[in-house]
Amino acid sequence: MKTNYQSKLNLKETQIAIKLVKDTFERKLSKVLNLHRVSAPVIVFSKDKINDDLGSKNSALTFNISNLDNKDIEIVQSLAKWKRMALLRYGFSMYEGIYTDMNALRPNDIIDNIHSIYVDQWDWELIIKREDRTLNFLKEVVRKIMCALHETKVVVNKEFPVLKETICKDVFFISSEDLIRKYPGKNLLEREYLITKEYKTVFIYGISPRDGESMRAPDYDDWSLNGDILMWSDTLGDAIEISSMGIRVDEVSLEKQIAISKREDLLKGRYHQMILNKELPLTIGGGIGQSRICMILLEKFHIAEVQASHWSEDELKKLKKWGINIL
């Protein structure tokens, strides 16, 4: 904990600044990626298998509703599969896409400075051609996202001159395998800390469960064409993952990854059958953490400063001790 940390914005200013961040970034992101805002569900039917188990790391919250024939309902954990189906159903064309607010509950996540049980992010998805399924195309989309974020920070700093930090829009790209080789003997979090401290904005690509550390579901990202954007926070003195994204599976990579994961049960879902039958568009997509973006752009130390959630008594005591006002 930085003993000299003090928020540069009071509670009222913080709330106003959060809206500015979200409005500005949404506008700039939708422009650079040609995205249209849509409404998205907060619950889905269990039988449809379009929810995500996040590589079996979290079990979705499940319940039933009598007015819906007592069918099992799940609170969404991610909209990766739903978005791809929505692009087809809504009739979007090549190089058009959608974005939406995704709000989820992940009660098994460990609560700390950048994690809470409540997840809020921009989920986006863009239709691409088969020949776009390359690492170079993925990198170009990452650069566009960072340009939008950099421009947003400029707007926010101008509106709130007390905010002085800048963000690095120049992305350092490295594969997960090269990262392991670069820092032998270090675990995943240590590697991310070291590489992001050095380069400030990093995209780690080619992430799969095969390294024994990363939990990646087999049925939405192509493991050879995915990655995480990490940014360095001077305020926190640590790396923050702001986005997990990737080019989505086609019929070949889906079958391959399902076999590696021994999750053949997933292929029974309508979404999976539509991929195997080449009925769904090829896409790239991801999620961008709203509260984490606000933390970085508003130079905050704890996610509780930008997100209204629930915290343990121990966490509340720490926040009070540190003099941090929460939403």
Question: Which value, in Å, is the radius of gyration of the alpha carbons in the chain?
Answer: 20
Q: Please report where in the chains the tokens 């590697």 appear, as a residue.
A: 191
Q: Looking up tokens 């650069």, which residue turns up?
A: 143
The question of whether 312 is a catalytic residue gets the answer no
| pLDDT tops 90 at residue 6 | no
Better-scored residue on pLDDT, 312 or 223: 223
Conformation bin of residue 318: beta by default, left when phi > 0, alpha when psi is -120 to 50 = alpha
The mean pLDDT of the chain is: 89
Domain boundaries, the chain: 11-42+77-321
65-102 tens-digit pLDDT? 666 665 677 877 778 889 999 999 999 999 999 999 98
The 3-state secondary structure of 266-277, one letter per residue: HHHCHHHHHHHC
Catalytic residue among 52, 123, 219, 222: 52
Told to judge if 264 belongs to the known catalytic residues of this protein, a careful annotator would answer no
When pLDDT is cut at 50, 70 and 90, the band that residue 104 belongs to is confident
Assess whether pLDDT exceeds 50 at residue 291: yes
Classify each residue of 95-109 as buried b or exposed e, where b means 16 or more C-beta atoms within 10 Å of its C-beta. ebbbbbbbebbbeee
Q: Is 77 designated active site?
A: no
Mean pLDDT of 218-226: 93
pTM: 0.91
- Closest alpha carbon to 123 in 224, 253, 29: 29
Report the C-alpha gap between 315 and 320 in whole angstroms: 9
Q: Is 263 a catalytic residue?
A: no
Tokens at 191, concatenated: 């590697």
Torsion angle of the four alpha carbons 171, 177, 183, 185, in this order, in degrees rounded to the nearest 10: 150
Active site residue 214: no
The per-residue pLDDT for range 26-70, each reduced to its tens digit, is: 999 999 999 999 998 877 766 666 666 554 455 666 767 666 665
**Is the per-residue pLDDT at 212 higher than 70?**
no
For residues 271 and 78, what is the distance between their CA atoms, to the nearest angstrom?
14
- Predicted confidence band at 1 (pLDDT cuts at 50, 70, 90)? very low
Position 109 scores a pLDDT of 72
Mean pLDDT of 231-238: 93
> Class of 11-42+77-321 per CATH?
alpha beta
Q: Annotated catalytic, 241?
A: yes
In the chain, what percentage of residues exceed pLDDT 90?
Answer: 64
Compute CA 152 distance to the chain's CA centroid, rounded to the nearest angstrom.
18
pLDDT tens digits, residue range 163-191? 999 999 999 999 999 999 999 999 999 99
Query: Pick the residue with more confidence: 152 or 3?
Result: 152
Which residue would you say has higher pLDDT here, 54 or 263?
263
Q: Which two tokens stand for residue 68?
A: 């819906």
Of the listed 106, 133, 191, 292, which one is catalytic? 106
What tokens does 80 get? 């990766």
Active-site option among 241, 250, 251, 315? 241
Active-site residue, selected from the candidate residues 30, 77, 233, 244: 244
Percent of residues, the chain, with pLDDT higher than 70 = 89
